[in-house]
Amino acid sequence: MKHFLTLKDFTKKEILEIIETALQIKRELKTGYYNSELKNKTLAMIFEKSSTRTRVSFETGMFQLGGHALFLSNRDIHLGRGEPVKDTARVISSMCDMVMIRTFKHSMIEEFASYSKVPVINGLTDSYHPVQLLADYMTMIEYGINENAIVAYVGDGNNMTNSWMILAAKLGFELRIATPKGYEVESEVLADALKIAKESGAIITVTNDPKEAVHGATIVTTDTWASMGQEDEKEQRIKDFKGFMVDDLMMCLAKKDAKFLHCLPAYRGQEVSESVLEGHAKIVFDEAENRLHAQKGLMVWLNKQR
Ligand code: CP
Ligand code: NVA
Where b means 16+ CB within 10 Å and e means fewer, 208-238 reads bebeebbeebbbbbbbbbbbeeeeeeeeebe
What is the residue-averaged pLDDT of the chain? 97
What proportion of the chain, given as a percentage, has pLDDT over 70?
100
**101 part of a folded domain:** yes
15 plus 138 within the same structural domain: no
181 plus 82 within the same structural domain: no
pLDDT of residue 147: 74
115 plus 189 within the same structural domain: no
Residue 213, sorted as left (phi over 0), alpha (psi -120 to 50) or beta, turns out to be alpha
How many Å apart are CA 150 and CA 225, to the nearest integer? Answer: 22
pLDDT of residue 146: 76
106 plus 182 within the same structural domain: no
**2 part of a folded domain:** no
| CA of 37 relative to ligand 2 center, distance in Å | 30
Q: How confident is the model over 62-92, as pLDDT tens digits? A: 999 999 999 999 889 999 899 999 999 999 9
223: annotated active-site residue: yes
200 plus 214 within the same structural domain: yes
| CA of 10 relative to ligand 2 center, distance in Å | 22
How many Å apart are CA 188 and CA 190, to the nearest integer? Answer: 5
pLDDT of residue 237: 98
pLDDT of residue 188: 98
Q: How confident is the model over 167-179, as pLDDT tens digits? A: 999 999 999 999 9
In this structure, the residues whose C-beta lies within 6 A of any atom of ligand 1 are: 51-54, 124, 132, 263-264
Ligand in nearest proximity to the CA of 134: 1
Q: Among the atoms of ligand 2, which is closest to the Cα of residue 227?
A: 8
Q: Write the CATH number for 81.
A: 3.40.50.1370
User: Does the pLDDT value for residue 26 go beyond 90?
Assistant: yes
pLDDT of residue 102: 98
Q: Which of 3, 291, 293, 295 is catalytic?
A: 291
Q: How confident is the model over 84-122, as pLDDT tens digits? A: 999 999 999 999 999 999 999 999 999 999 999 999 999
Q: Which residues sit opposite 102 in a β-bridge?
A: 47
**274 part of a folded domain:** yes
**What strands lie across the sheet with 174-178, from one edge to the other?**
203-207, 174-178, 150-154, 219-222, 259-262
38 plus 85 within the same structural domain: yes
* Enclosing H/E stretch for 13: helix 12-30
Q: How confident is the model over 222-278, as pLDDT tens digits? A: 999 999 999 999 999 999 999 999 999 999 999 999 999 999 999 999 999 999 999
pLDDT of residue 207: 98
The percent of the chain in helix, strand and coil, each rounded to the nearest 5, is 50, 15, 35
136 plus 123 within the same structural domain: no
Residue whose Cα lies nearest atom 2 of ligand 1: it is 53
Q: Which residues sit opposite 70 in a β-bridge?
A: 44
75: annotated active-site residue: no
pLDDT of residue 306: 86
Q: Residue 3: which pLDDT band, with cuts at 50, 70 and 90?
A: very high
250 plus 217 within the same structural domain: yes
pLDDT of residue 290: 98
22 plus 99 within the same structural domain: yes
What proportion of the chain, given as a percentage, has pLDDT over 90?
97
247 plus 162 within the same structural domain: yes
195 plus 102 within the same structural domain: no
What lies within 8 Å, CB to CB, of 128 at 6+ separation is 5, 6, 7, 106, 122, 159, 162, 163, 166
Q: Residue 148: which pLDDT band, with cuts at 50, 70 and 90?
A: confident
Q: Are 101 and 73 in contact (CB under 8 A)?
A: no
What single DSSP character describes residue 288?
Answer: H
Q: With a 6 A CB cut-off, is 183 part of the ligand 2 pocket?
A: no
162 plus 274 within the same structural domain: yes
Structural domain harbouring 119: 7-129+291-305
What lies within 8 Å, CB to CB, of 241 at 6+ separation is 155, 156, 180, 183, 225, 270, 271
Cα dihedral 218, 288, 134, 217 in deg (nearest 10): 10
Q: Which of 53, 132, 176, 293 is catalytic?
A: 132
Q: Which of 263, 271, 290 to mutate to test the pocket of ligand 1 (most atoms within 8 A of CB)?
A: 263
pLDDT of residue 216: 98
Q: Which of 223, 237, 262, 280 is catalytic?
A: 223
pLDDT of residue 54: 98
How many Å apart are CA 166 and CA 195, to the nearest integer? Answer: 10
Residue 216, sorted as left (phi over 0), alpha (psi -120 to 50) or beta, turns out to be left
How many Å apart are CA 105 and CA 119, to the nearest integer? Answer: 19
Domain count, the chain: 2
- Phi/psi of residue 160, each to 5°? -70, -45
